Every structure is written in structure tokens, then in C-alpha cells.
Amino acid sequence: MQERSAETRADILASAEKLFSQQGYEGTGVAEICSQAGVSKGAFYHHFPSKHAVFMTLLEDWLNILDRQMQYFQGNAKSVPAALIDMAGMLRFVFQSAGGKLPMFLEFWSQASRDREVWQATIAPYRRFHQLFSDMVQRGVQEGSLQTTNAQETAWVILALATGILMQGLLDADGAAWDEVGKHGLEALMKGLSPSQSETEKA
Amino acid sequence: MQERSAETRADILASAEKLFSQQGYEGTGVAEICSQAGVSKGAFYHHFPSKHAVFMTLLEDWLNILDRQMQYFQGNAKSVPAALIDMAGMLRFVFQSAGGKLPMFLEFWSQASRDREVWQATIAPYRRFHQLFSDMVQRGVQEGSLQTTNAQETAWVILALATGILMQGLLDADGAAWDEVGKHGLEALMKGLSPSQSETEKA
């Protein structure tokens, strides 16, 4: 019985994700989610108090996946620039495994710009990603592999590059090899932030 | 009479933009746009065949503004890297003048991921921006200010950085001085792509 309940919950989430991606959050109703998932309204409200709650669950699940990926790459490289360039390879994972889920990413951002609760749920992990990158940049400065006077700003630049490539890949999946673009971008950026460059320059 | 007609058209566009930003495209109806603009449905349909047409007009207007800005910066700098760093200053303009219009940007992307016509209207200028950056990068290589084996890829990196900063500014306007982040990012990137660096490195 519990197993079936978990299955119902998963069906609701998968159906909602599909419909939100295709029609947007505003354009999708609870009735439609139920019909797509093949569950009753009673079953829906047993699992979720509202459409909004379903949306928030999808958002949190998505962010948890990204979080785990980030942690993984952080712990497996010999230097900070190497770790960041490795992370660009994460983009391939995001595009491949997320697949049809990607339009949801846009839906999250779009909702975040007008829904306070979604905004807070989005901004909190986004700032956490920023903090994680700031810490990495600072470690890079300490280990002598990076040079910057403003680690916070540098971290925003890295996050912006990743976000931008994600957006482009969403809009134009076949427009380029987006993981290659990410790698090229991170490499150029790391080179531009490398202290050896500026010292050689001075010499 | 013609003047009043142009005013009505502008009122419809401004009201639609406001409502799309606040409630999303799907969540906004023609009746609501009319009521917000203080115009009759007859007047609405005199100017636009559909809600979709209003959306497309807003999208085209937005892209035309960006286009003009890009052209301006391109013609006013002594080298390609300098022009690109100047363009980061454009972000300040986009944030300041666009103001409340920014949530619309997300709405455009979100709609583009599910509406073929919006997608084509979005992707065409986006690819034009990419082409413009590719041309600039190639000129940079020719003038000896940039080094890259793949100008197309480098152009995507620049565009991704700009898009990502726009997205972050949208989500978290007060989170950072976004035009400064843009400038810092472009400077680091240009430094990483500078041929003098790699030559000094070799020496």
C-alpha cells in the first residue's frame, strides 16, 4: 500500500513536470495533472495541498540533483581551476539526463520573478551555489592558482557563464556542443584569472 | 485620430507587458489587457489579431532595442576586447531602462521553449547576436588582440556570460552590482583570450 502511494506521488510529479514544461505553470490545472497521471483528485490532495506544492517539490528535487553534482566535482580535482573546468562537464550531464525537464528550469525562473515563495526557494540555493564558487575561488587564491581582488564577483561571473550556457542549451539544443562551449569558456576564464599570467606580464 | 490610434496601441502594449510580467503569458487574457489599458475589445482587435500578436510585438520591440545598443557599442571602441568590455556597460543600461520589463525577458524564453513561432522569433536575433560576436572575435584575431581556434565557440561563451548576468540580475537585482560583474567577467575572459599572454607564457 505504501509502495503504491509512493508510485502515485511519483506519477503526479512526472505528469505535472510534463504539463508545466509544455503549457507553463499558469496554463496547467490540477484536473489536467490528475488526468495525465491517471489519479483521482482525492489521491492528488492526499499527496499535495496544491498545484503550487507540486511545483515547489519539483523545484527542490531539481536543485538537490544540481547540489549533489556540484559536491561531487568539488571533491575530485587537483586544483580549483581544474575542478571548475571539470564542472563544465556537468553541463553535459545536465543536458543529457535532464532532457525534457529543461523547460521546467525556465518555468522556475519565470515563476520566481513573480512568486515570493518560489523566489525564495530559487534564490536560496542559487546563493548557496554562489557561496560554493566563492569558497572555491578563495581556495584558488590561497593555493596560488587564481588571482582576483574580489572572489564574490568572480564567483558570480562563473555562475553567470554556467547559467547562460544552460539557457542557450535550452533555447537551441542543437545550436552548438554546449558542454564544449562550457569547457572553452571556463578554460579561457581560468587563464584570465591565473596569477602566473599577470606576473609574466609584469616581467 | 491617427495619433489617438497610436496611443491606444501603445497603451495595449504597455498593459500587456505589465500583466505578462506579473502573471505570465498563459495567466493573462485579452479581456484583462483591455481592462488594464482602458480600451474596448473592438479597439484591441483593431490593432492586434490576438494576444499572441501582442506578445510577438513586445518581443520584437525588445530585440530591436538590444540590436541598436549592440550596433552602437560595436562602432565606438579602439579594439575588439575594448568594445566587448564596453558592451558590458550595456548591462547597466538594460537593467536601468528596462526596469520592470525584465520579467518579460524570462517570459519570452519560457514561451520560446514551447511555442514554435516565439522560438523562431527569439532564436533568429539570438543567432544574429552570436554572428555579430563571431565577427567581432574574428576581427580581434585579425587585429592581433584575441587568440582562439574557434571563433564561433568563443562567441557563444561571450553571449552565455551576458545572458547569465541578465538572468541573475533578473532573479536577484540587489544581489550584486551586475554591470560590475559583467565588466569583471569580460575583462578576465579577454585576458584569457589574449595572444600576448600565451606568447609571454611560451617565452
Is ipTM beyond 0.85?
Answer: no
Rounded Cα–Cα distance for residues B50 and B102 (Å): 23
Rounded to the nearest angstrom, the minimum Cα separation between B168 and chain A is 7
pLDDT in tens, B96-110: 655 556 677 777 777
- With beta carbons less than 8 A apart as the criterion, state whether B198 and B148 touch: no
Domain range list for chain B: 1-48, 55-202
| 8 Å CB contact of A109 and B112 | no
User: Which CATH number applies to B1-48?
Assistant: 1.10.10.60
Residues of chain A with Cβ-Cβ distance to B112 below 8 Å are 171
Q: Residue range B61-86: average pLDDT?
A: 80
pTM over 0.95: no
Separation in Å, CA B34 to CA B8, B39, B185: 10, 5, 43
> Which residue, B105, B73, B107, is CA-closest to B89?
B73
**pLDDT at res. B172:** 81
Residues B127/B155/A178/A122 CA torsion (nearest 10 deg): -80
Query: Which chain A residues touch B180 with a CB distance below 8 Å?
Result: 153
SS3 A46: helix
What size, in residues, is chain B? 203
Domain B1-48 matches domain B55-202 at the CATH topology level: no
Set of cell numbers at residue A72: 561531487
Q: Could you say which of 3.40.50.150, 1.10.357.10, 3.40.50.920, 3.90.230.10 is the CATH number of the domain covering A55-202?
A: 1.10.357.10
Cα-atom radius of gyration of chain A, to the nearest Å? 20
Tens of each residue's pLDDT in chain A, 203 residues: 577 888 999 999 999 998 988 887 888 999 999 999 999 999 999 999 999 899 889 888 887 877 777 777 766 678 889 988 888 877 776 666 555 566 777 777 777 777 788 888 878 878 888 998 999 999 999 999 999 999 999 999 999 998 898 888 877 878 888 889 999 999 999 999 998 644 444 44
Dist CA B182 CA A103 (whole Å): 26
From chain B, pick out residues whose CB is under 8 angstroms from the CB of A192: 187-194
Is the Cβ pair A153, B180 closer than 8 Å?
yes
Sort out which chain A residues have CB atoms less than 8 A from B113's CB and list them: 21, 102-103, 106, 170-171
Q: How far apart are CA B92 and CA B179, in angstroms?
A: 5
C-alpha cell at A1: 500500500
Neighbours of B4 (CB within 10 A): 9
Q: Which residue among B159, B172, B197 sits closest to A123, beta carbon to beta carbon? A: B172
Dig out the grid coordinates for B15 from the structure: 498593459
Where do we find the cell 505504501? A2
| CB-side neighbour CA atoms (13 Å) of A113 | 29
How many CB pairs (< 8 A) connect A and B?
197
